[in-house]
Amino acid sequence: MLKRKLFLYLTSIGFVFSQHIFVSYTQTRPEKPNVVFIYVDDLGYGDLSSYGATKIKTPNVDRLAAQGTRFTNAHSTSATCTPSRFALMTGVYPWRQQGTGILPGDAKLIVPTDKTTLPKVFKNAGYKTAVVGKWHLGLGTQVEKNWNGDIKPGPNEVGFDYSFIFPATADRVPTVFLENHRVLGLDDADPIQVDYEKKVGNDPTGKENPELLKMQSSPGQGHNNTIVNGIGRIGFMSGGHMARWVDEEVTGTFLSVAQQFIKDNKDNPFFLFFSLNEPHVPRMPSTFFRGKSGLGYRGDAILQLDWTVGQILDQLELLGISDNTIVIFSSDNGPVLDDGYVDGAVTQLNGHTPAGPLRGGKYSIFEAGTRVPFLVSGAGVAKNKVSDALFSQIDILASAAQLLGMSTPPEAMDSEALATTLLGHNEQGREYFIEHAGTLAVVKGQWKYIAPSNGPAYAKLTDTELGNSPEPQLYDLSKDIGEKDNLAKKYPEKVKELEEILRSERNK
Ligand code: NG6
Ligand code: CA
């Protein structure tokens, strides 16, 4: 009896103590902080000076590290864009669902409209929500669609009150902006048609008219269909000439739209998903940044990205809302140099290491595929802190819900509520995490297990070590973050344990 009383007493102390951490921290932060999530494209773990880069300086993004918490072990779910973004929006691992791979520019919407999504978490709490930038999650209910009318469902149906996007990637047609349901600046007399199978209209293509290109596409990597702004794209389009973007102006356009949204909503809680293109191909930075990095257009694009982040941070300060705003910065997958265009990324690398100490890159199941920069700063966030917690972008949904006093929506089945971890007050991260790049890997504590796969070990065109092997691979990341020493034979029990996690996750 006494023992039982003592037990109850001790557990209640434990409970009170952990409640105390949560409560004392909730008391010091605003109830409904604004959230600006800056999501960049193909930026590597070693691409920022706050993550050890020495050949390039990123002072603006580094401000987030100094003023907030820098994560060393945070991940996108996947080593490419669409699946990572699907997970971010839904809280569901993308490999659970067919059709979540890299989408063409005419794909249909793959995010469900009848389920709780990341923006809907905020909307349900009374926030104004917006997405500005790259979308790449499909539009409409089918591939064949009329680009000249209302295009839906899309971001607005998924939970964004306002959207200003481009549909897929900068290297895929249609190369136009959409504001809410409509292509921006469309001339009715010049309707848009898009096709990924065959040529439409009379616009020149990179294949037929290479002399018209201002940047060559890399041999064997496509990117030689319709030419827009002197750059060959993936896919064919005709019409919409007035609406087509100029690559050099894309980021400036997104920035001004994002800043307008922030300004319009400074007096009410808002969630802004600011999804920048840099340093994804085609890298065509504005004149102001060209040649500035000495590392070719990829480096220049990173400088442009850094400047853009600085503009947002300055604006939040000028408006007097930076203490009431959480800024999160991350990348949708790891780095790649030659991803389809001859742009100096390889020849002018100059000793820069986009993946830092990690092996692989974009497309790879090795760490550089999904371990990405992740910085959080602002309202209620621990300052000047480095967190080694295992965390994933898939957890933002449940963590945001927790922060706003809501429970995790059941459909976000893979999202973990780790609000205090996200805000840098707690180093307790996930127990384990599943990485995805075609094949799957499990990270748990210091261990990483890569499931056997018959996929190629190496992608010649992008010069990527993909990490596929028919043999099981086990790495001790605490001693071997570069994944060189396969310990699977030495620790068969560990392999079994992690294999079992993967098996049960696959069967959920
Ligand atoms: C690949 C493209 C690459 C890039 C990528 C998507 C080829 C040969 N390569 O298929 O250039 O567009 O898709 O990148 O077509 S992501 O970051 O959006 O996933
Ligand atoms: Ca990407």
State yes or no: pLDDT of 16 exceeds 80.
no
Question: In the predicted model, what is the mean pLDDT of residues 29-54?
Answer: 95
Q: Rounded to whole angstroms, how far apart are CA atoms 399 and 405?
A: 10
When pLDDT is cut at 50, 70 and 90, the band that residue 30 belongs to is confident
Helix or strand or coil: residue 6?
Answer: helix
Cα(136) to ligand 1 centroid in Å equals 11
Q: Which ligand sits closest to the CA of 82?
A: 1
Angle, alpha carbons 265-268-274 (nearest 5°):
45
Nearest residue by C-alpha to atom 8 in ligand 1: 221
Q: Kindly list the protein residues whose Cβ atom lies closer than 6 A to any atom of ligand 1.
A: 41-42, 80-81, 102, 136, 169, 171, 221-222, 234, 280-281, 333, 339-340
Give the pLDDT confidence score for residue 29 in this predicted structure.
62
Mean of the per-residue pLDDT values for the chain?
A: 95
Q: Which ligand sits closest to the CA of 103?
A: 1
Nearest residue by C-alpha to atom 18 in ligand 1: 81
Question: In the predicted model, what is the mean pLDDT of residues 168-188?
Answer: 98
Counting from 1 in the atom list of ligand 1, the atom nearest the Cα of 339 is 11
pTM, full prediction: 0.95
Nearest residue by C-alpha to atom 16 in ligand 1: 81
Counting from 1 in the atom list of ligand 1, the atom nearest the Cα of 42 is 17
Strands (E), 427-476: 432-437, 439-444, 447-450, 458-459, 464-465, 473-476
Q: Which of 162, 107, 95 shows the shortest CA–CA distance to 136?
A: 107
Give the pLDDT confidence score for residue 1 in this predicted structure.
41
Nearest-10 Cα torsion for 417, 271, 57, 218: 90
Nearest residue by C-alpha to atom 17 in ligand 1: 81
Q: 438 versus 149: which is more confidently predicted?
A: 149
In which residue are the tokens 């997958």 written? 333
Give the pLDDT confidence score for residue 371 in this predicted structure.
98
When pLDDT is cut at 50, 70 and 90, the band that residue 25 belongs to is low
Mutation test residue for ligand 1: of 77, 100, 171, 370, the one with most atoms within 8 Å of CB:
171
Phi-psi region of 38 (alpha: psi -120 to 50; beta: other; left: phi over 0): beta
> What is residue 361's DSSP assignment?
-
pLDDT 10s digits, 438-489: 899 999 999 999 999 999 999 999 999 999 999 999 999 999 999 999 999 9
pLDDT 10s digits, 317-352: 999 999 999 999 999 999 999 999 999 999 999 999
